[in-house]
Amino acid sequence: MNPETSLWTDLAFWAFGLAAVWYGWRVFRTDSMVRATFALLASFLNVGAIMVLLLAEYLGTALFFMMAVEMAVMAIFMVAFMMNPAGLNPMQMVHQHRFAIVAGAATFAGLAGLGFAVDFPDRPLIIAADTIQQLGFELMGSSMLVMQSIGVTLLATMIGAVVLSSKWGRYGDSDAGSVPPSLDPEQREEDRS
């Protein structure tokens, strides 16, 4: 690669890298489920951009839409099933502070240390090489069994989740017989006991 390109590539790498870390940090500092979800998405988008810089364009771009869909699903399900209505109320986003901080710092240090310790091979990629086709043959060739197993497992999980959360089931409505809580506090206490 010519040095001009590599300077811009380096600058872009640092910009995306810092943005990915910054948004990753925001995930834990924000007070809303939705903000945390989409801060995580922003972090992933920056990681995807770094993958595009590494000429893994298909994987990088795929990361964009995969993570966009996943975080959108998270926005629906995690928020829908939480006591915090629609993620609009401020809430504490972390628990087990001390353990989480130690585990996070240790993992980051470990992985970052690995980056310095490992002697990475220096094999410049031929830009014109058809990396996307190679990836396709890999996924649909030697890794076929793994990919298909993962696919079927994910599908079964999704169907299971939908069945469990469905209001209508084989034995009738899941909320049959339930009554909304009374608006009168004393009545509510009685109902509870």
Partner 1 sequence: MPLASVYANDWLAIPVLLAVVVGGVYLVSVLDELFGEVVSGSRPNLGRSLRLPVRQAALLLCQSATRTEHPDRILWPVAPAAYAALAAAGMAVIPFAEGFAVADVRTGIVVFGAAEVLTFVAVYLHGWSANAPLALIGGYRSLVQGFSFMLLSMFVLIGVALPARSLSVGQIVEAQSGLWNVVRHPLGLPLFLVVGLGAALWGPLRLPDSRELAGGTVGEVSGPQRLAWEFARRAMLVSYAVMAASAFLGGYLGPWLPGPVWLLGKSVAMLAVFVALGHLVGRVRPERFMAQAWTVLLPLSFLDILIAGVEALP
Interface residues with partner 1 (CB under 8 A) are 2, 5, 34-35, 38, 41, 57-58, 61-62, 64-65, 68-69, 71-73, 75-76, 86-88, 126-128, 132
Q: Which is nearer to partner 1, 69 or 154 (CB)?
A: 69
Minimum gap (Å) between residue 24 Cβ and partner 1 = 17
Minimum gap (Å) between residue 105 Cβ and partner 1 = 28
Minimum gap (Å) between residue 152 Cβ and partner 1 = 17
Q: Which of 114, 116, 108, 111 is nearest to 28 (CA)?
A: 108
What tokens appear for 190 in the block? 């009685």
On the 0-12 / 13-18 / 19+ scale of CB atoms within 10 A, 57 is middle
Q: Which is nearer to partner 1, 28 or 70 (CB)?
A: 70
Q: What is the number of residues in the chain? A: 193
Q: Which is nearer to partner 1, 2 or 178 (CB)?
A: 2
Q: Which is nearer to partner 1, 5 or 92 (CB)?
A: 5
Minimum gap (Å) between residue 60 Cβ and partner 1 = 8
